[in-house]
A and B are shown apart, each in its own frame.
Chain A
Amino acid sequence: QVQLQESGPGLVKPSGTLSLTCTVSGGSITSTNWWTWVRRPPGKGLEWIGEIYQSGNTNYNPSLRSRVTISVDKSKNQFSLKLTSVTAADTAVYYCAIRPPRNWFDPWGQGTLVTVSS
């Protein structure tokens, strides 16, 4: 069974860059899935950030597109998220998840809290 685990700094300064990695175990990142990032700001709902396919093709949330980059590292079986010019509004629990060809999101990582603060 595929499992996902997020990792990265829990604190980022305003105007800085948020960088997270999702490590895939129990399966290959070269499988026919889209590898996805979702976040949940405190007290708010889930927000789809974007996704990447093994080929490197990406899709992004239009509201974040100018600041987001998602990349894949096949050699490490990982995919990553970079979000630039962060503000307090980017404080959230960030999840990585799988979107298979049947078009749902499952499984998910446990999530990692990233706080934007000086």
Chain B
Amino acid sequence: QSALTQPASVSGSPGQSITISCTGTSSDVGSYNLVSWYQQHPDKAPKLIIYEVNKRPSGVSNRFSGSRSGNTASLTISGLQADDEADYYCCSYAGFSTWMFGGGTKLTVL
């Protein structure tokens, strides 16, 4: 069971938009509407920001949005803010009652 593939790092300036990709296979990301995204600041617990591919939990800014095309899911953050600087992880159901996370992407706000 290999991790979902994410870019190691992305960066953007305040106010800009960035997109983080999460590539899996037809056995996980491509097969189930069970992709979620998590934001993790240093020494903090991960926080759910997107579930079921494109749904936002209550209280999460609408600057965060999710989508999927084929075996690749994406997280877009618009109107970048300094506090968005964090690690971001995708997660997908992988079948047979198992789950898989991505390797994580470090977002730097320039």
Task: Please pick, from A95, A105, A110, A111, the residue contacting B48 in the complex, using a CB distance under 8 A.
Answer: A105
Interface size on B, residues (CB 8 A): 25
- Do most interface residues of chain A lie in helix, strand or loop, or is the interface mixed? loop
Q: Which parts of B7-60 form the interface with A (CB within 8 Å)?
A: 34, 36, 38, 44-48, 51-52, 57
Interface size on A, residues (CB 8 A): 24
Residues 86-103 of chain B, each 1 if its beta carbon lies under 8 Å from chain A, else 0: 000101010001111111
Task: Give Cα distance in the complex from A110 to B102, angstroms.
Answer: 20
Measured CB to CB, the closest approach of chain A to B3, in angstroms, equals 6
Cβ A103 vs Cβ B48 within 8 A: no
Closest to B101 in A: A46
Of A12-20, A21-29, A58-66, A78-86, the stretch lying at the interface with chain B is: A58-66
Task: Please pick, from B46, B57, B93, B102, the residue contacting A95 in the complex, using a CB distance under 8 A.
Answer: B46
Known A-B contacts A45-B102, A47-B101; A108 and B51 likewise in contact (beta carbons under 8 Å): no
Measured CB to CB, the closest approach of chain B to A10, in angstroms, equals 15
Please report A residues at the B interface, Cβ cutoff 8 Å.
Answer: 38, 44-48, 59-63, 95, 97, 99, 102-111
Minimum-distance CB pairs A-B, first 8? A45-B103, A106-B48, A45-B104, A46-B101, A108-B45, A59-B97, A104-B51, A48-B99
Please report B residues at the A interface, Cβ cutoff 8 Å.
Answer: 1, 3, 6, 34, 36, 38, 44-48, 51-52, 57, 89, 91, 93, 97-104
Q: 27 A-B pairs, CB-CB below 8 angstroms?
A: A38-B101, A45-B89, A45-B103, A46-B38, A46-B101, A48-B99, A48-B101, A59-B97, A61-B1, A62-B1, A95-B45, A95-B46, A97-B46, A99-B99, A102-B51, A103-B36, A103-B52, A103-B93, A104-B36, A104-B51, A104-B52, A106-B47, A106-B48, A107-B45, A109-B45, A110-B44, A110-B45
